Amino acid sequence: MDNEHKPVTDVAAGNGTPLHNEVKTRVLVVDDEESVRFFLLKGLRKEGYEVDAVASGRAAVDRLARAPFDIVLTDIVMPDVTGLDVLRAVHEMDKDAVVILMTAHGSVENAIDALRLGAFDYLTKPFELKELLVRMDRGLARRTVERENRKLRFFVSKQLAEGSKEEGLASARREWERGYIEDLLRQTRGNVTKAAEMAHISRPNLHKKLRALGVDPHAFKR
């Protein structure tokens, strides 16, 4: 793995020593099974994510109220506060957060309901860590696209108000491309190959865009 999610602090080692100023991807694990929490804490911390874990939906809602998370991995069937309740709470606090449901075979229908409510994806237990990592990367990539689309709409409105239609659209598109590519490079720590895969373009084409936009991928290496 490219360790593209290397944390700012040495969370995996448990000493919290600051390493650099980049913001790391924060993950909240919600599951009432201790073995699942241990598996995800160990695996995701090794991959460089900052991970927190709670044993109930109620504890998850409390934690979400105190701090934001980029990704929430939650079991669906839990006593008292369910995974669907956690999903609703997440989207009330941060509509951009990526929510991935974890479900047993018997509750797949609940997972499909969660997708309709805005969850990004779901996995059926048991699953391999590499499968989860792929879903998480896809979720973060989609979040980046959605954020940049909002920026694009803002830039278009702003530029059209300030100049000609053609100049406004060209300027807005350039700003959107720059922001989108820079977000991908932040997520991949300047790894152009990985960024190209997430953007679904070839590596040479991404290099051309980097040169045209004046973006240096080395500036995003941590």
Q: How confident is the model at residue 42 (pLDDT cuts 50, 70, 90)?
A: very high
Residue 214: per-residue pLDDT = 85
The topology (CATH level 3) of 26-127 is Rossmann fold (3.40.50)
Look at residue 153 and tell me whether its pLDDT is greater than 60. yes
pTM score, two decimals?
0.64
Look at residue 32 and tell me whether its pLDDT is greater than 70. yes
- For residue 28, the cross-strand partners are 52, 72
Mean pLDDT rounded to a whole number for the chain: 79
**Cα 89 to Cα 3: distance, rounded to the nearest angstrom:** 30
The predicted model gives 209-222 an average pLDDT of: 82
Q: Closest Cα to residue 143, out of 198, 101, 102, 205?
A: 198
Q: How confident is the model at residue 10 (pLDDT cuts 50, 70, 90)?
A: very low
In the numeric block, the tokens 């809602």 are attached to: 61
pLDDT in tens, 51-98: 999 999 999 999 999 988 999 999 998 988 999 999 999 988 888 899
Does 173 or 32 have the greater pLDDT score?
32
**Cα 216 to Cα 101: distance, rounded to the nearest angstrom:** 36
Q: How confident is the model at residue 16 (pLDDT cuts 50, 70, 90)?
A: very low
Strands of 47-193 (E only): list them. 50-54, 71-75, 98-103, 121-124
Look at residue 18 and tell me whether its pLDDT is greater than 50. no
Tokens of 184: 């991908």
Residue 222: per-residue pLDDT = 57
**Cα 172 to Cα 24: distance, rounded to the nearest angstrom:** 28
Look at residue 160 and tell me whether its pLDDT is greater than 70. no
Question: Are the C-beta atoms of residues 139 and 187 closer than 8 Å to each other?
Answer: no
pLDDT in tens, 118-139: 889 989 888 999 999 999 998 9
Kind and range of the H or E run holding 28: strand 26-30
- Amino acid identity at 102: M
Does 31 or 198 have the greater pLDDT score?
31
Residue 142: per-residue pLDDT = 84
